Amino acid sequence: MRLISIYSITIIGCLSLLTAKAYSEEEGDTDDRPAWSIGAGIGFGAYYYPTYGGIGTPGPASEGSQGLGAAGGLGGYVGDNWYSSPNAHVMVEWQFADSLALLFQGGVSYSDNDSSGGNYEYYNVGVSILAGLRWILNPGGAVEVSTYGAFSGSWSFGFSDIESDFEPPENLESWVVKNRSISYSLGFHIGLALERKLLDNLYLRLESSLVRVAYGYGENKQTFSDEERSTSNSKSFSTGLAFSPAIQLRLAF
């Protein structure tokens, strides 16, 4: 959590500095810019306000950091509206006009948590896709400022094992509670991206979601000492502010 907070503060600082100088330098020529590009990056979690939820609460696996550069990041809820899972993603982008580009992105995330005493384990893995439109506000600028709108979809699977410290009955070796959860989500995100040219066709991009609308569905099965006891499901719909910092390298060709 502390490491992710440091990353977030660093990215916020970079965004502020880049924004301050984005319009202070002369614009370059965009006529010979390559139309296609590929890229890869990493996201550092997400902060939502209000807390993700609405019609029930699917739980932390339902949605994590879903932004332009943070399409993965499912699960890993650590409180205070913060989803901690870092995530990796790849992207393909087609810039069909000076100020407009279509973007496609896929991401994966993984999180785990083991207690020091060995009686608690939690794992979560997520996959997500994203597609949308990016609008460049100052094409050819030394630091390009763009906003985007994108639809996203995600799937995640998580499980936890909790072993009780109480003495089990004679017919059981231990008291073990197991949870297995699957969740899905659909969303729409609006965000901001800042991009700086590093080499001829290599660009550094910093980005984050700003606003999101999301619908989620989750199902959880619980077993007690290998005997299935309950199955529950829930749905949720929420809107609000979203902060999902990410950094990305993009290669144009």
Indicate which CATH number applies to the domain containing 107: 2.40.160.20
**Domain assignment present for 28:** no
- Residue 61 structural domain: 2-23+34-252
Q: How many CA atoms lie within 13 A of 48 on its CB side?
A: 27
**Domain assignment present for 29:** no
**Domain assignment present for 64:** yes
**Domain assignment present for 207:** yes
Instruction: Please identify which residue in the block is written with the tokens 């999301």.
Output: 214
DSSP H or E run through 191? strand 176-197
**Domain assignment present for 189:** yes
What pLDDT is recorded for position 75? 38
- Collapsing DSSP states into helix, strand and coil, what is residue 6? helix
Locate 186 and state its tokens: 């659909």
Q: Give residue 216's identity as a one-letter amino acid code.
A: G
Question: Under 8 Å CB-to-CB from 101, ≥6 apart: which residues?
Answer: 93, 94, 95, 133, 134, 136
One-character DSSP codes across 54-110: BSB---TTS----BTTBS-----B-STTEE---EEEEEEEEEEETTEEEEEEEEEEE
Locate 106 and state its tokens: 């896929």
- Count the residues in the chain: 253
Give yes or no for a contact between 131 and 93, defined as CB atoms under 8 angstroms apart: no
Domain count, the chain: 1
Across the 253 residues of the chain, what is the mean pLDDT of every consecutive 10-residue run?
44 47 48 84 81 40 36 38 75 95 93 67 87 96 96 90 66 70 92 95 94 90 73 86 91 94
* Per-residue CA distances from 107 to 121, 153, 173, 245 (Å): 24, 11, 40, 14
Measure the CA–CA gap between 209 and 46, rounded to whole angstroms: 9
What pLDDT is recorded for position 224? 73
